[in-house]
Structure 1
Amino acid sequence: MYPDGVCQLPGGLFTKTVEYEDINYSVASSEDQSAIFNGWSAFLNYFDSALPFQLSFVNRRAHSASRYKVNIPAQQDAYDSIRGEFVSMLKRQIAKSNNGIDRAKYITFGVPAGSLGEARPRLERVEADVVGNLHRLGVQSQPLDGRERLAVLHGQTHPGSREPFRFSWGDIPRTGLGTKDAIAPSEGFDFSQPRLFRVGRYWGAASYLQILASELSDKLLREILELDAELTVTMHIQTVDQLKAIKTIKGKVSDIDKMKVEEQKKAIRAGYDPDILPPDLITFSKDAADLLADLQSRNERMFLLTFTIINLAPTRQRLENDVFTVNGIAQKYNCAIKRLDWQQEQGFVSSLVLGYNEVEIQRGMTTSSTAIFVPFMTRELRMGGQALYYGMNALSHNIIMADRKKLKSANGLYLGSTGSGKSFSAKREIINVFLATQDRIIIVDPMGEYAPLVRRLGGQVIEIAPDSPHHINPMDIQLDLGGDESPLSMKADFLLSLCELVVGGKDGLQPIEKTVIDRCVRQVYRELALGLGDGKPPLLQDLYEELLRQPEPEAQRVATALELYCTGSLNLFNHPTNVDLTSRVVCIVLKGLGENLRKIAMHITNDFVTSAVNTNFHNGIATWCYFDEFHILLRDALTASYFVAVWKMLRKKGCVPSALTQNVKDLLASREIEAILDNTDFMVLLAQAQSDRAILAKQLGISEHQLSYITHSNPGEGLLFYGSTTIPFVDRFPKGEIYNLLTTRPEDLKNEPGT
């Protein structure tokens, strides 16, 4: 093994290895599956007869959580009980991931050459082609260097070992030990038995797949790889020269025709109809003719396939059980698993990610029949850094950890019917953001569901209602923020739209009225901008009184409309702010408001969100914003157009907005939703009503199989859309303090102490 990843094998063969990731195949639509299959067929056709290759699927039981990290550091504060519970939940989910099995996929290709110098440029060219071809399929791949290849081989020769791989190229001249010594197990190998072998302390069995079926299923390989067992599935593939393959098949056709003639002669001599031929001969004749047609007229090539399976287990009994299970899967698809009697060593060596085949059992296959072993199942989301927990992959049982900030657009939607776990999922994300980051969180809560959680996180709950003691002054302004936009101009723009909302009418504000309001706004903020007076921001009443001083009759009209909200009965926004708007978590509750007041409250809330995001961005802090009952916010044209602006603009200022709604029809009734959907790369779909499923399938292009995950599904089950990745997920959150903070189910709330 050389440091750049080239391995020299006996017979003048030099190989390299590429590791590749999964893509969504299992949950894809029929059209997408066909496209992936055709792309995989084209990928296989790239390899010519001078380029043998090996597909390896290595399943190993993980003895450490090296691929998963809990990213919530311990801190001595008031949230230790929540932090401890959340970390325990994450560790349990990590331990359950894949039943503790790490799955890896490799492709190893080799070129025959006289020397390393001759092989290296050819291997580099093939490597670039392989990575490029995989990329066209949407598959992420990574060539392995020498140490990484040795680490893979070390894992294969040390099953069940907790011993980490320790090796550096500097060890070779210092110790005199080679790369083989670095990967050899200290307990050695035992290949003395005909049907079993020992590698270290583990038992192993090498078998090959005997293909009996005339047609294969794309589920065969997937079901074997999904087993809760340690195994290595290997496919050594050698392309047959096209002219040689056609010549061979033509020869077989001629042989069959000759046999037909012999059978017909026998029939004539025996005195029966010469068209009556043995059934096997008729079948062989048809198959050979079809095969010849495939090779000559379709984009098919001939491959020689060696399909081996290595099972490994700590005990002989467990090993025999695993082999029996694999054989059961093979029989389901009309195939069989046959033990490699007296060839256990050759079988094991051929399974190593080296590209070296010592098993001389080959099966002729066309491109299509080889490609039916599609190596893809479902895409995984296992990101590091500040990634958040979103449940378990329903197909692979892996933990889902994703970082929304790494998407082109971090904007998100939570869609689900009542009781589907929609707000539970959002609250779980809020707790995760609170524990794993230093970001700020703002929640717009029309129903008051989030208040207990926010209070437990030490946040500020602001109830906006006529009888509430909480007040937000819509005239608050921060003049010291840098940036391209003037804070005063932005505040004037907000107050213009607020007055337009208050004045109402079909045509809204007239040009003269807008001019008067703008003049008054600048006059009201004049002292504050110049640093005069007491430094306190003005109130809405100050704007009202300034409007009364203006000579234009239009000013009187606007002032009269504002009077109700300044000195009238709906004056709750005519007070200085008396809540902590700088708290890390802020929840604005809009419950119990009348129609007029609700529109104005929403508009003032929107301004607060914009202002807070700007301030946080100025201070280098990200902001997560949650808008529950989103369809209510889209009813009014003014707030709807504001949200389109939020979706398009605030993400550039470190904002991660999320909208939640249970009524998809109401949501899609808004003209603005198309702009929102076009700018959304993150979506959580939970159980949907039948009519909503049809709408979503059309709008989002969801396949029939994907729809099954949001049809009559249990709470906490659904589909996660992350960029171009779609993952069916399941979230079984354990009961405890966090669960009680998140749940809104009446039966759970009854059981809570103190309720």
Structure 2
Amino acid sequence: MEAIKTKYEQTKTCDVPLVKEMTSVQDILSVKSIDEGGIFELNNKMFSKLYVLSDINFAGVTDVEQKEIIINFGKVLKTIPCRFSYTVANEYVDEKLFHEKILYALRGDKYDFLRRSYNQVIRDKVSDARQGLYQTIYLTLTIKAEDMHDAKQMFMSTDTAIRSAFIGIGANGMQGSVMRPVGINERMQKIYNVTHVGIENNYKFDFEKEYESCHDWLNTLAPASVRFENEMFMLNSRFGKVMYIEEYPKSLESDIISSLSKLNCTSYVTVNSELLDIAGFKQEVGRKYMAVGMKIENEKQRNRNNNDYLADASQKLLNEKEKLDEFSKEIDTLDEHYFNTTMLVMVLASSEEELTQIEEKLKNIASLKSIKLHSCFGKQREGFNSCLPLGIQEFKRVCNLSSTCLAMFMPYKTQELNDEGGTYYGVNQLSQNAIFANKKLLKNHNGLILGQSGSGKSVFAKSEIISTFVNNPTDQILIIDPQSEYGNLSGITDGTIISFDSSKEFYLNPMDVDYTDVDYVKLREIISDKADFILSLLSSCMKRDILPEEQGIIDSVIEKVYSENYSLRKKLNGEAEKASDYEVPSYMRTESVMFDVEQNLSVEEQIRAYSPTLQDIYQGLLDEGSSLAAHLAAAMEIFVNGSLNLFNHRTNVMLDNRFIVFDISGLKDNIRLTAMLVMMETVRNKVKDNAKEGRWTHLYVDEFHELLGVPQVAEFILKLWKEIRKMSGILNGITQNMTDLLNNDNGGKLSAILSNTEYFALLSQSTLDKEKLMKFLPQISPAMFNFVDNADSGTGLLKMGNVTVPFDMRMSKESEIYKIVNTDGGGYGV
């Protein structure tokens, strides 16, 4: 008859393997059954469920923030009411599939040469990283239940609280860890990848197909061959070994797991823990206290028997009793949870010699952390099952740890950016994993690219622009170019350059309007926008704010001009004026078309041919008849009949090109402000037109601080910055540093811009600019700003929403992309 065990002793008892003696490869895993919800049934009515934990920035924050994260992680551990384990896994990924996932897909068009060049840059960059390895953090929860139905109910009741606790781990506004449940297909695929390591195949597990085909999932997961020996095991063509931590340091460091998991090989570092019943644990401590007390009394008695009545027990026993006494008081007074914990490390290698080398490296790392690794002698199979994220604990060498101490075994290292369909931004300097980020996934898509002169800011921006162009074949890219830097990109992308020079006869009509699907309510929005533009134009010309009575006249004239134009265009297309429940007021209608029109024109041709011009607004003011209107018309005459009539023409440039550069480098002072206002109005119109077609627009504004320095233009930018998100637009400002922006911050517009910005690319910053950025971006840890403090050209920080990573985007000077984007002879090639 088996002896009755206390609750404490039960947590030290190993799980019984499902099959004690292996007779086939199907016996390797101690899993009885699987459920389509991703739950595994283990031996002895135990059930496990797997989750993936997103990484958080732990290595790149200050000591104070690290301490806060550790405390928060300890609180999370207290919320877990069942047996659990967390695993940091360097999992092998097929190199072909790995490349298919991260490389730019070829599209069979004329720009494939750019995609191939980028792919070569990516290959070169990740070749120094863990090629074919992906690091993942797993959390496995294991509960005891009567059946699978009962297990599902129990997992549902615990999921929400634990998930909320993980989200709250972050410090200083940092994003916490997201806990994502792993479905059955993904979980089985991960186990399959381990048991079939070294075997080239593209098998994808599909639960429904396996079920319909009546396949035995054990046969699917079973490896081709496996042999367990005392000190190692062979899995297919790979050699593996499972070790456990035999001795723990007196003072725990928070990077122990990070250090053990940084080797360039397939590895699993697992922390298996089981919550101790506090009453049973107190009994165990009390039992040890009594045992030490008896030893002390026995030792005193021996001394008395030797006629040494003054001698006390040994100092070692007295110290042990004192520590147990203090520990007992801590259990009673502190709100701590205690666990029996086993830490395991499993590694796989392609040869026995490589396995020996890896083991040596691991032991060297362990010795630096004052821990001792020992092989699971004669228990390699049990260690294998216990190390994988299955929820099995067939091997135990427990250590009593409080939640505070267990939290020191931190599984987190650094956040990763790996958005599907994202743009390549180099590699993460902390993890050496490739960075792919997609701005379209952010709540607010706008961004700023900041870097002092020589930091690689221009190269960074151009590289992003080309990546965006080749990977988003339906999107349009608009660039405002104050220094004529982007002409070469326009040539490569077959783009259009619009230069505001009267001698080149490039004309843009700022009054162009598209009435497609516009009813009278939307017409009012158009009238309001055009009125804002005319007000800005006249304000810049008159060098003062427009008076309220003047605003009323301008609004009335524009309303009449555009209502008549709206009526004309409806008749042109054979439509009734009453296009919706809203009707054009009778006094704004025209009874008949007053001039000849050409039928069967496309929408684009109608916009060019029949949109109002500045001449119409000018004439409308004259027709109004009042002296105030005449005064406003006189102010407008310079734009109609005077030296600034460049913008009183119908548009004659193609605005449908996917790549358009507005070159304002050669603007003369007398038309500079007007040209900027016309340009911004044209851009806003184009963004709106693209939004109607379901098309994304990427707007890049170089020398961003210059445009913010012009009050009228700054008003345009601020409005566009706030509204462009709703129109599937992304506005990117490019400038040297924060000082430039602050010096041109008219009326606190910079604060409004920053509050509506989620994307920041921060390259090398001066000390002054770094301090200003730290104030404006308090959610980024001060420690992370070390990556921009006079950083190497092409390196810095990338902030995407709540995720901030240090990037290294340097590339070879011989790459085709580098030769394209580096136009100044410098850059950050290596």
TM-score (norm 1): 0.90
**Aligned match of 1:61:** 92
Cα 1:493–1:130 change in 2 (3 A) is: closer
User: Which of 772, 787, 799 is residue 709 of structure 1 equivalent to?
Assistant: 787
Partner letter of residue 228 of structure 2?
A: F
User: Which of 180, 197, 204 is residue 142 of structure 1 equivalent to?
Assistant: 180
Cα 1:514–1:338 change in 2 (3 A) is: same
**Aligned match of 2:350:** 314
The whole-number CA distance in structure 2 between the counterparts of 1:62 and 1:382 is 15
The whole-number CA distance in structure 1 between the counterparts of 2:35 and 2:148 is 12
> Given that residues 263 and 274 in structure 1 are in contact (C-alpha distance below 8 angstroms), is that contact kept between their aligned partners in structure 2?
no
Instruction: Map Cα deviations across residues 345-381 of structure 1 (whole Å, 9 max, x no partner).
Output: 2222322322222223211211111111111112222
Q: Does 1:742 align with 2:821?
A: yes
**Structure 1 residue 692, shift from structure 2 partner:** 0.7
Cα 1:705–1:161 change in 2 (3 A) is: farther
Cα 1:503–1:352 change in 2 (3 A) is: same
**Aligned match of 1:366:** 402
The whole-number CA distance in structure 1 between the counterparts of 2:263 and 2:65 is 25
Partner letter of residue 347 of structure 1?
A: G
Partner letter of residue 183 of structure 1?
A: L
Q: Does 1:698 align with 2:736?
A: no
1:289-438 matches, within 5 Å, as 289-384=325-420, 386-437=421-472, 438=474
1:204-603 matches, within 5 Å, as 204-256=240-292, 278=315, 280-281=316-317, 284-285=320-321, 287-384=323-420, 386-437=421-472, 438-465=474-501, 468-480=504-516, 482=518, 484-486=521-523, 487-505=526-544, 508-518=545-555, 520-521=557-558, 528-529=565-566, 530=568, 532-533=595-596, 535-537=609-611, 539-540=613-614, 543-544=617-618, 547=621, 551-603=625-677
**Aligned match of 1:685:** 762
> Given that residues 562 and 612 in structure 2 are in contact (C-alpha distance below 8 angstroms), is that contact kept between their aligned partners in structure 1?
yes
Identity %: 28
**Structure 1 residue 335, shift from structure 2 partner:** 0.8
Q: Provide the aligned length of Structure 1 versus Structure 2.
A: 742
The whole-number CA distance in structure 2 between the counterparts of 1:210 and 1:536 is 84
**Structure 1 residue 610, shift from structure 2 partner:** 0.8
Q: Name the SS for the 1:375 alignment partner.
A: coil
**Structure 1 residue 615, shift from structure 2 partner:** 0.9
1:116-155 matches, within 5 Å, as 116-137=148-169, 138-155=176-193
Partner letter of residue 104 of structure 1?
A: T
Cα 1:657–1:71 change in 2 (3 A) is: farther
Cα 1:659–1:296 change in 2 (3 A) is: same
**Aligned match of 2:605:** none
Partner letter of residue 444 of structure 2?
A: S
**Aligned match of 1:645:** 719
> Given that residues 458 and 585 in structure 1 are in contact (C-alpha distance below 8 angstroms), is that contact kept between their aligned partners in structure 2?
yes
**Structure 1 residue 55, shift from structure 2 partner:** 2.1
Q: Name the SS for the 1:631 alignment partner.
A: helix
**Aligned match of 1:111:** 143
**Aligned match of 1:45:** 78
Q: Does 1:627 align with 2:701?
A: yes
> Given that residues 15 and 123 in structure 1 are in contact (C-alpha distance below 8 angstroms), is that contact kept between their aligned partners in structure 2?
no
Instruction: Map Cα deviations across residues 593-617 of structure 1 (whole Å, 9 max, x no partner).
Output: 3555322222111101110011111
> Given that residues 26 and 377 in structure 1 are in contact (C-alpha distance below 8 angstroms), is that contact kept between their aligned partners in structure 2?
yes
**Structure 1 residue 267, shift from structure 2 partner:** 9.6
**Structure 1 residue 556, shift from structure 2 partner:** 4.4
Instruction: Map Cα deviations across residues 204-263 of structure 1 (whole Å, 9 max, x no partner).
Output: 122111334111111110122222121111222122211222233244445556666778
**Aligned match of 1:17:** 50
Greater alpha carbon shift after TM alignment, 422-431 vs 331-340: 422-431
> Given that residues 503 and 558 in structure 1 are in contact (C-alpha distance below 8 angstroms), is that contact kept between their aligned partners in structure 2?
no
Q: Name the SS for the 1:672 alignment partner.
A: helix
> Given that residues 621 and 633 in structure 2 are in contact (C-alpha distance below 8 angstroms), is that contact kept between their aligned partners in structure 1?
yes
**Structure 1 residue 470, shift from structure 2 partner:** 2.6
Partner letter of residue 540 of structure 2?
A: L
Cα 1:309–1:748 change in 2 (3 A) is: closer
Q: Name the SS for the 1:485 alignment partner.
A: helix
**Structure 1 residue 707, shift from structure 2 partner:** 0.7
The whole-number CA distance in structure 2 between the counterparts of 1:185 and 1:154 is 8
Q: Name the SS for the 2:91 alignment partner.
A: strand
> Given that residues 419 and 745 in structure 1 are in contact (C-alpha distance below 8 angstroms), is that contact kept between their aligned partners in structure 2?
no
Q: Name the SS for the 2:34 alignment partner.
A: coil
Partner letter of residue 579 of structure 1?
A: V
Partner letter of residue 754 of structure 2?
A: L
The whole-number CA distance in structure 1 between the counterparts of 2:628 and 2:147 is 91
**Aligned match of 1:606:** 680
**Structure 1 residue 53, shift from structure 2 partner:** 2.1
**Aligned match of 1:658:** 732
Greater alpha carbon shift after TM alignment, 289-298 vs 697-706: 289-298
Greater alpha carbon shift after TM alignment, 172-181 vs 221-230: 172-181
> Given that residues 6 and 15 in structure 1 are in contact (C-alpha distance below 8 angstroms), is that contact kept between their aligned partners in structure 2?
yes
Partner letter of residue 135 of structure 2?
A: R
Partner letter of residue 430 of structure 1?
A: I
Instruction: Map Cα deviations across residues 145-182 of structure 1 (whole Å, 9 max, x no partner).
Output: 44433322222222233234455557878988643322
Instruction: Map Cα deviations across residues 176-210 of structure 1 (whole Å, 9 max, x no partner).
Output: 86433221211x22223x32221111111221113
> Given that residues 70 and 91 in structure 1 are in contact (C-alpha distance below 8 angstroms), is that contact kept between their aligned partners in structure 2?
no
